[in-house]
Chains A and B, each alone.
Chain A
Amino acid sequence: MIPIIRQELWQRKWYSFFWIIGVAAFIALVIGVYPAFRHQSAQLNKSLNQLPAAVKSLAADTNENLLSPVGYMSSNVYYLMLPILYGIVAIGLGGSILARDEQNHTLELLLSRPVSRTKVLAAKALAGITILAMIAAGTILATVVLAWLTNLGLSLWHLTLATIMAALMALVFGALAFTLTAIGHSARIASVGVSVLLLVASYLFTSLAGTVHWLKWPSTLLPYHYYHPSPIMDGSFTGKAALGMLGVIVIFALIAVLTFRHRDID
């Protein structure tokens, strides 16, 4: 398994590097400009409070001051941008890390060696998770350093936890894309599209469920419903949502293994 993981990381080294730098730069920009808003937060918040609830709910998972440290980080980083950025990475990796080898017929090279299909699948999944984890580590480093330099006033551990939670939710969508590529040819074609659609729908349904009542029930079936960065940052996070997401990822992994083990390779 180790050579396959190493090979994937080597092949995607520049991809990983630029994502780490890009997301870290985004974090640096967002936190770096916060001091300019902090002292005017009361006035600016008055204007923001004039916005319809539906619009506010698209920006953050809190009704509190959107320019308080928690509100600012939630609305500008954790609620939308980070899950979307990580989602792009996770879905991109999930939809290609196995599929590319199958499309290029290099998967046959791996499967002609004495490596079981389950191990190939596990190695590919671990390589993808490692890349996402490296990008998240870059984000955490940038967040912690910038939060400390700008005296953001939030627990560095809670910021770290919020980043991990965003990565975990993105991983759910990445796991879906990966599982679809493992199932077979037709599912592979749909893998990225279906996962992106579900990510966007998940965000919109959950954000608008407070205003559009018929969205309430369907939103409970989607991961975003269980993703709340504000409680993580203010320390009231219980971890149940994380366990739930891990459970979904494990279910996807099981489906991937069971189908990939016994299907024809293209």
Chain B
Amino acid sequence: MAANITIDKLSKRYAHASTYALHNLSLSINAGEVYGFLGANGAGKSTTIRTLLNFIQPTKGTATIMGHDILTSSAAARRHVGYLAGEIALYGKMTGQQFLDYMSGLQPLKHPDYLPKLAERFQAQLDEPIKTLSKGNRQKIGLLQAFMHEPEVIILDEPTSGLDPLMQEAFFTLVREVTERGASVFASSHNFAEVQRMCDRVGFIREGKLIAEQTLADLAQKATHTFVITFTDPVPLTALQHITHAEVTAHTDHSATISMTGELTPLFAILAKHHVTRMEQQEVNLEQEFLRFYGKEQS
């Protein structure tokens, strides 16, 4: 599959800084893929995005967007990009419509009727001065300007920040639609639920280095599975505690919470010998994985 974004050993050291804000970052994002970029504050997420968009110059390394070098063909690369900043700054005196007209003047829309449809879908308030809008409504305008020209590469920093659950749902649907037509989405986020909901693959960045990268499918397979099991008879605690790679994290007389990795057969073998009235699997917890990676790196 062709990569819409390729990053090769990209590094950035700011003037007067002794350490790299971004160090030898290499990754590629395929057409139709949603890539989540996770990391703590100051880990290098924004530096990566700002370098990709040529707001800051890399110290070393290269990157391309749709085959265009981000340094030597930056304007050509940005022809394919839609960008939403984390704390988006807009022109407060303009109305939403005036702002979107201004942006589309700089980057004409492929289909002029797409923007009104998007605005309607997000119930964006376009007739009011932007400075009078709430954070959520400003975020909607930010999303519209990032998606309205139907770019092949969409770079988003905390995209659902300030959006209510309904609008978040509309956003996830939009992401699904654009990836179906082959666009790539590169989303930096602190919000694990958001990443888990929309991403195909995640990269964990720490101190400017990519420390792990995996697909959500892999993560689901390798990650710790947590089950809450309710028994009619007393919990077979000893048997459960003897399962390899399993841990009973909580229990009462008739219920147990067990976290385990790998093969589930030993668990089911025990459950088959008892009366189980309810079994609930908790979602794969990306946050736990994130903390596990960070903890591992730190130790």
Are chains A and B native binding partners rather than an unrelated pairing? yes
Cβ-defined partner of B89 (8 Å) among A3, A109, A263, A265: A109
**Interchain CB contact under 8 A, A11 and B78:** no
**Interchain CB contact under 8 A, A114 and B91:** no
**Interchain CB contact under 8 A, A109 and B107:** no
Determine the main DSSP class of B at the interface with A: loop
One of B52-60, B117-125, B220-228, B281-289 contacting the partner: B52-60
Q: Which of B83-103 contact A (CB under 8 A)?
A: 83, 85, 87, 89-91, 93, 102-103
**Interchain CB contact under 8 A, A108 and B89:** yes
**Interchain CB contact under 8 A, A264 and B89:** no
Chain B residue nearest in CB terms to A2: B105
**Most chain B C-beta atoms within 10 Å of own C-beta, residue among A104, A108, A109, A111:** A109
Q: Does B106 contact A (CB under 8 A)?
A: yes
Q: Does B79 contact A (CB under 8 A)?
A: yes
- Residues in chain A near residue B91, CB distance under 8 A: 7, 11, 106
Q: Does B28 contact A (CB under 8 A)?
A: no
Chain A residue nearest in CB terms to B92: A104
Cβ-defined partner of B53 (8 Å) among A6, A11, A111: A111
Q: How many whole Å from A94's CB to the nearest CB in chain B? A: 21
Q: Does B75 contact A (CB under 8 A)?
A: yes
**Most chain B C-beta atoms within 10 Å of own C-beta, residue among A6, A7, A112, A265:** A112
Cβ-defined partner of B90 (8 Å) among A109, A114, A116: A109
- Residues in chain A near residue B90, CB distance under 8 A: 106, 109
Q: How many whole Å from B299's CB to the nearest CB in chain A? A: 34
Cβ-defined partner of B103 (8 Å) among A105, A113, A263: A113
A104 to B89: give the CA distance in the assembly, Å: 7
**Interchain CB contact under 8 A, A113 and B107:** yes
Listed in ascending order, the chain B residues whose CB lies under 8 Å from chain A are 14-15, 50, 53-57, 74-76, 78-79, 81, 83, 85, 87, 89-91, 93, 102-103, 105-107, 145
For this complex, 7 residue pairs linking A to B, each with C-beta atoms less than 8 Å apart, are A3-B102, A106-B89, A106-B90, A110-B106, A114-B106, A264-B15, A264-B56
